[in-house]
């Protein structure tokens, strides 16, 4: 099983970040796990990565409700980035607002990236599935 080059977790909740990281480490899918406290931090870093012609994380865990730049605002900017690879983006939220699901479907239609939608808490099995498929 080939390891993923890098994984990004974008979430303002440190417990979630801790949890996801811990599960990824247990599964040992990647040596390179980055975390960002909000969308802005992430998008700024991704822009830097592109500039340096480095590789964008193949899997992204994305929270929606975050300060400064929320998940949707991040997505909006992300899909505009010149990334040819199909990045697997997993929206991870505790929201059950139908508006959020609609938003997700909307973004699916607008990008070649693969966007998935999961409610918190995420199970280890699911993370395994996500990372293996990549």
Partner 1 sequence: MDNRITLVRNYGIMLRETQTFSNDYLIKQLPVSTAFVDKKFNIIHASDKWITDFDFSNRDVIGMSLFELFKDISKSWKKELNSVIKGQAMISGVENFFDSQNNEKWFEWVNVPWYDAQENIIGVIIQTKDISDTIFDDVKLEKLEVLFKDKSKISKIGGWEYDAVKDKLTWCKITKKLHEVPEDFEPDVEIGINFYKEGYSRNTIAMAVDNAMTKGVTWNETLQLITAKGKEISVITTGKPVFKNEKFLGLIGTFQDITDEVLNKAKTEEQERIFSSIFNSSYQFTAILDTEGTFLEINETALQFSDLKQEDIINKKFWDAYWWPIPDMVKEGLKQVITAAAQGEFMRNEIVVLDKNKQPIPVDFSLKPIYNEEGSVVSLLAEGRMIKEMVEARQKLKISEQKFRSLYELSPIAYILSDFETGEILDFNSSFEQATAYGKGDMENLRYADLVPDSSKHKLINFLKEVDLKGTYGPFEHKFCKKDGTTYPVLISGSLVGNKKGRKLLWSTAQDISEVKKKEKQIREEQKLLKTLIDNLPLNVYIKDLESRKVLVNKSELIYCGFKEEAEVLGKNDFDFYDETSASISREEDLNVMNSLNPILGKETISVKKDGGLTKFMTSKIPLIGPDGKANGLIGISMDISDLKQQEQELRDLINVTSIQNKQLINFAHIVSHNLRSHTANFSMLLEFLVDEKDANEQANLIKMLTEASDNLLDTLDNLNEVVAISTNLNLDKKPVNLYEKIEAAEKNLAAFLKKNNAKIINKIPDETYIKVIPAYIDSILMNFITNAVKYKDDSRDPVIKLTVSNNEKYTILSIEDNGLGIDLNKYGKKLFGMYKTFHDNSDARGIGLYITKNQIEAMNGKVMACSEVGKGTTFNIYFNDKT
Nearer to partner 1 by Cβ, of 28 and 119: the residue is: 119
Sheet of 114-119, strand order: 33-36, 7-10, 59-62, 88-93, 114-119
Minimum CB–partner distance for residue 10 and partner 1 (Å): 15
Nearer to partner 1 by Cβ, of 5 and 21: the residue is: 21
Minimum CB–partner distance for residue 84 and partner 1 (Å): 29
Instruction: Report the interface residues with partner 1, using CB under 8 A.
Output: 13, 15-16, 18-19, 22, 65, 67-68, 93-97, 99, 119-122
Q: Considering only CA atoms, which of 105, 61, 60, 121 is closest in space to residue 85?
A: 60
Minimum CB–partner distance for residue 68 and partner 1 (Å): 6
């Amino acid at each position: 099983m080939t390891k993923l080059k890098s994984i990004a977790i974008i979430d303002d909740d440190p417990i979630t970040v801790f949890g996801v990281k811990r599960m990824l480490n247990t599964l040992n899918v990647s040596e390179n796990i980055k975390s960002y406290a909000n969308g802005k931090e992430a998008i700024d870093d991704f822009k830097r990565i592109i500039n340096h012609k480095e590789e964008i994380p193949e899997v992204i865990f994305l929270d929606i409700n975050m300060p400064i730049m929320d998940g949707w605002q991040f997505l909006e900017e992300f899909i505009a980035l010149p990334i040819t690879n199909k990045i697997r983006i997993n929206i991870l939220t505790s929201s059950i607002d139908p508006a959020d699901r609609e938003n997700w479907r909307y973004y699916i239609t607008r990008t070649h990236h693969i966007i998935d939608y999961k409610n918190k808490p995420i199970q280890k099995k699911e993370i395994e599935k996500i990372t293996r498929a990549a």
